[in-house]
Structure 1
Amino acid sequence: MSLLVSMSKPFFASYIEELIVQYARENVESGRWQKTGSLTRARRDTERLLPRGIETDNNHFFEMKVPEVNETVGMIWLSLENSSTTSTVFIYDLEIKAEYRRQGYAKLALKEIEDFAATHNIVNIGLHVFSHNSAAQKLYAEMGYETVSVNMVKKIGQTEV
């Protein structure tokens, strides 16, 4: 039985607002963005990626429902990206609610994403993880994900804005 259930439009509306806040926060914490304007930038990036919201082509949104818990324990946003040389499912978001972390739900979700990719004839699964999220990096490595690039930043004389 699949734990991934298609996300409803009402659930998506609250999910995407929280995602925008989290994305801004993660970018500030990682040092990529200044705090000032981060929420606006996160919203703009999200709207660029999802011009039609939940209805945007090649994007799939899921709630992770566990029968024993009888509620949503996590959320997933996937994007199908095809080119002339490869096909990839990109994981834009895999979020397990705080109270359900470290219980194996992320591993189950990643296995179901592999099944999803296989049914769509996808050969790669990609994702981005912030450098300060060592727990996620460890999980992805355990699940067979490999680092393919590294972004680096040097801060020069910045003051907190």
Structure 2
Amino acid sequence: MPLLVPMSKPFFSSYIEELIVQYAKENVESGRWQKAGSLTRSRRDTERLLPLGIETENNHFFEMKVPDVHESVGSIWLSLENSATTGTVFIYDLEIKQEYRRKGYAKLALKEIEEFAATHNIVNIGLHVFSNNEAAQTLYADMGFQTVSLNMVKRLEPSH
């Protein structure tokens, strides 16, 4: 049985609101953004990427369902990004609900994302992971992902 099933519009509505809050929080915790205005910035970024919401072209949203569990164990947002030289499935979000983490669902989802990519003649899977999320970094490295770039920041003390 496939783990990934297309996300319904009602599920998407609550999913995207939760994603906006979580993305703002992660950016603040990682030190990329200031807390003030982070929610507005997260909403603006999300609306820029998804001007038509769930209907935005080349974006695919999935719920992760498993037998014997009567709710989604997680959710995924993928974007198909094609250039003149290659195609990439970019994972904007892969979220496992807290109570279902460390049970292998993320690895199963990543394998299904590979199958999804293959059916779309895509040769790369990309993603972003925050530097303070060591568990995700370990998971992705174990699944064969490699670091291809690194953003760095130097914190300056405000001058008074």
Q: TM-score, normalised by structure 1?
A: 0.97
TM alignment of 1:4-43, pairs within 5 A: 4-43=4-43
Q: SS at the partner of 2:103?
A: coil
Question: Does the residue aligned with 1:63 lie in a helix, a strand or coil?
Answer: strand
SS at match of 1:147: coil
Q: 1:12 is aligned with what amino acid?
A: F
Using the TM superposition, give the Cα deviation of residue 114 of structure 1 relative to its aligned residue in structure 2, in angstroms: 0.2
CA separation in 1, counterparts of 2:76 and 2:100?
Answer: 15
Q: SS at the partner of 1:80?
A: strand
Counterparts of residues 72-151 of structure 1 (less than 5 Å): 72-151=72-151
The alpha carbon displacement at 1:158 in A equals 4.1
Amino acid at match of 1:19: L
- After TM superposition, the structure 1 = structure 2 runs for residues 42-81 of structure 1, keeping only pairs within 5 Å, are 42-81=42-81
CA distance in 1 between counterparts of 2:115 and 2:121 reads: 10
**Which segments of 5 or more consecutive residues in structure 1 lack a partner in the other structure?**
none
Q: Deviations over 1:54-105 (max 9, x none)?
A: 0000000000001121220000000000000110000000000000000000
Aligned Cα root-mean-square deviation (Å): 0.9
Distance across 1 between alignment mates of 2:70 and 2:21: 26
Specify the SS of the correspondent of 2:135: helix
Q: Name the amino acid aligned to 1:123.
A: V
Q: Mind listing any 5+ residue stretches in structure 2 that lack a counterpart?
A: none
Moved over 6 A (4+): none
| Structure 1: distance between partners of 2:143 and 2:70 | 26
Structure 1 CA distance for aligned equivalents of residues 118 and 127 of structure 2: 17
